[in-house]
Amino acid sequence: MYRDSFGNIIYLAAVTRQFMWSSGLYVVVVEDDKIVELSATPFGGGKRHFSYDIVKISQGDFIAVHSSSHAGNGDLEFASVLEPDVIKYVIPSVVDYCYEDMRSTAIEHGLAHENITASAVYLGGKLHAKYIDINNDGNTDIILTGIQQIYQEQILKREYYVKKVYLYDVKKDDFVFSEEMSENIPIR
């Protein structure tokens, strides 16, 4: 539940139609205990790891949505609570729970032999977001953390602690990946 500047109550509702693979997010505005507006947002994706929250950050109040395609890969997307029909920010590659068996993944993680593939997934299906001002510039930044697992022929071969840092850039009005502050630490 969220109250807009006029005191109206705004609810978010994830809807999955029966027997469908995906969910969509709707905004429900209530005034005087009556629904006065119901509108679809551009958010949607695989129901398995579709989640949302309202986050209050220095850039405003946003609906933050973890979503994925039918292939199990996806992003963390943000829309202003006041303009829920426009996606303002996108943080890529935050959701991954699909075992894709790709040669490029095997090569990247040193597991490549001729015609060998590997899959990379996040433990629990996604990275977890924290919203803090990490560089003390007065703007909220985003820190994503989790465990990435690398599988080859359904056997766990590697694990990494992953920390991805996105700093807010005022000039670009966007979150920019910081390679220097991010980490990818082998744990297995």
Say how far apart CA 81 and CA 88 lie, in whole Å.
Answer: 11
Residues 136 and 73 in one domain: no
- Whole-angstrom CA distances from 50 to 24, 57, 120, 125, 134 are 9, 21, 19, 10, 27
Q: Which of 30, 60, 92 is the last residue of a domain?
A: 92
Q: Which of 58, 92, 126 is the last residue of a domain?
A: 92
H or E element in which residue 165 lies: strand 155-169
Query: What does pTM read for this prediction?
Result: 0.85
Residues 84 and 103 in one domain: no
SS3 140: coil
More confident position, 4 or 42 = 42
Residues 138 and 185 in one domain: yes
Residue-range definition of the domain harbouring residue 123: 99-188
pLDDT in tens, 67-105: 887 667 889 999 998 888 899 999 999 998 888 888 888
> What's the domain count of the chain?
2
Band of residue 5 on the pLDDT scale cut at 50, 70, 90: low
Residues 72 and 4 in one domain: yes
Residues 107 and 86 in one domain: no
Residues 109 and 68 in one domain: no
Residues 70 and 27 in one domain: yes
Residues 85 and 4 in one domain: yes
Say how far apart CA 94 and CA 66 lie, in whole Å.
Answer: 8
> If we measure between CA atoms, which residue out of 120, 122, 123, 2 comes closest to residue 52?
2
pLDDT at position 154 is 86
Q: Which of 76, 92, 108 is the last residue of a domain?
A: 92
Residues 11 and 85 in one domain: yes
Is the pLDDT at 165 greater than 80? The verdict is: yes
Band of residue 167 on the pLDDT scale cut at 50, 70, 90: very high
Residues 12 and 37 in one domain: yes
SS3 145: strand
